[in-house]
A = this chain, B = another copy of it.
């Protein structure tokens, strides 16, 4: 998939079409109570991309149908969410010294914005660097903020910058995004390195030395397999689907899922519609979405976010664009539990980064997953693993072998 098309995929999937959403049955009090007592986290919040939007504040309650945003403090409280991994996402750009320097600077500013957010609202958020710190905050009013680097393009060819980002609080890193870079092949680009490059293999060793949890989401199957094999600690797929349910390069097959689990790793099931259903091509619609993207880019104000959200919803509705649903998500989740085992599965909505399905619009819908798992007979202990226990375990395992 070209970068342009990958960007379009995000565009297509980025927004709820509120008119199409079906009201869901409220979950039972027992399910709700159970949900409230779990440690609930999402391993891929793209919300930091909104931190510099004028008029958008994480402490205000927003409406996904109105501004497209999917994570904020009030909704974390309402959705029973204890924290998450907030990502420093850097879009892949030119693999040149200038491009690398620009990406480095972008990512350093973004990680600083995450830290500033937590400092500004220190009664509501706290940057954490260990599973123990996160567990301590679970079920308190303060939400924990793990920091992750999505795409290691900001490192350029200088792996010493991994320690820089580590020093600034990053405890999870992924090598690559939707296009290949100097470290690894992307799941959505033609193979270039055959997986990891030699530098990418050093990247794995350095992540292990630092105790950084390796995230293979967006990496090619070959790169993912190599990370599983080379890493001294279990790895994570922070937001990835099951290929057996829908065949898309961003989803992984059962064999690889089993390999991941055999080494102790975790797959966090993703909720990005275009990786979950077939969207028939429509040249007119795609042109309209491209024009929308050209018009707004990354909106810089809340008003622009709201205008873009409304226009996007109108375009998607006009062309009757199909959208995956909560039930599709549950299928991926149950399949992964069956294949990888209950100790190796978790959840990510890919919110504020393209995620969101009909009936799974934002973090307010998280309790429905608890209800769905309970309906399938899973125990509290099982559901707790899926909601956070497994992810916290791999953070812990990555750190336990640091420096060895």
- A112 touches B (CB below 8 Å): yes
Q: What distance in Å separates the Cβ of A255 from its nearest Cβ neighbour in chain B? A: 40
CB contacts under 8 Å to B, within A108-160, are 108-109, 111-112, 115-117, 119-120, 122, 160
User: Interface-forming stretch among A72-80, A162-170, A263-271, A284-292?
Assistant: A162-170
- How many residues belonging to A are interface residues under a CB distance threshold of 8 Å? 19
A117 to B122, CA, bound (A): 11
Query: Contact at A108–B105, with CB atoms within 8 Å?
Result: no
Q: A115-B115, A116-B115, A116-B116 are in contact. Are A164 and B108 (CB under 8 A)?
A: yes
A168 to B111, CA, bound (A): 11
A219 to B167, CA, bound (A): 30
Q: Chain B residue with minimal CB distance to A117?
A: B119
Query: Contact at A167–B108, with CB atoms within 8 Å?
Result: yes
- A232 touches B (CB below 8 Å): no
- A393 touches B (CB below 8 Å): no
A58 to B116, CA, bound (A): 16
- A323 touches B (CB below 8 Å): no
A101 to B167, CA, bound (A): 12
Q: What distance in Å separates the Cβ of A202 from its nearest Cβ neighbour in chain B? A: 15
The answer, among B109, B117, B167, for a CB contact under 8 Å with A168, is B109
- A104 touches B (CB below 8 Å): yes
The answer, among B109, B116, B167, for a CB contact under 8 Å with A119, is B116
Residues of B near A117 (CB, < 8 A) are: 119
The answer, among B101, B115, B160, for a CB contact under 8 Å with A112, is B115
The answer, among B109, B115, B160, B167, for a CB contact under 8 Å with A167, is B109
CB contacts under 8 Å to B, within A12-56, are none
Query: Contact at A168–B108, with CB atoms within 8 Å?
Result: yes
Residues of B near A101 (CB, < 8 A) are: 160, 163-164
Residues of B near A163 (CB, < 8 A) are: 101, 105
Interface string of A87-103 (1 = CB under 8 A from B): 00000000001000100
Query: Contact at B164–A104, with CB atoms within 8 Å?
Result: yes
Residues of B near A167 (CB, < 8 A) are: 105, 108-109
Residues of B near A108 (CB, < 8 A) are: 108, 164, 167-168
**Interface core residue of A97, A119, A120, A167 (most chain B CB under 10 Å):** A119
Residues of B near A119 (CB, < 8 A) are: 115-117, 119-120
Query: Contact at A164–B115, with CB atoms within 8 Å?
Result: no
Q: Chain B residue with minimal CB distance to A101?
A: B160
Residues of B near A112 (CB, < 8 A) are: 111-112, 115, 168
Residues of B near A164 (CB, < 8 A) are: 101, 104-105, 108
Q: What distance in Å separates the Cβ of A219 from its nearest Cβ neighbour in chain B? A: 26
Closest 3 CB pairs of A and B: A116-B119, A119-B119, A119-B120
What are 27 of the A-B contact pairs (CB < 8 Å)?
Answer: A97-B160, A101-B160, A101-B163, A101-B164, A104-B164, A105-B163, A105-B164, A108-B108, A108-B164, A108-B167, A108-B168, A109-B167, A109-B168, A111-B112, A112-B112, A112-B115, A112-B168, A115-B115, A115-B116, A115-B119, A116-B116, A116-B119, A117-B119, A119-B119, A119-B120, A120-B120, A120-B122
- Beyond the given pairs A109-B168, A115-B115, A115-B116, 12 more chain A to chain B contacts, judged by CB atoms under 8 angstroms and listed by A's residue number, are A101-B160, A101-B163, A104-B164, A105-B163, A108-B164, A108-B167, A109-B167, A116-B119, A117-B119, A119-B119, A119-B120, A120-B122
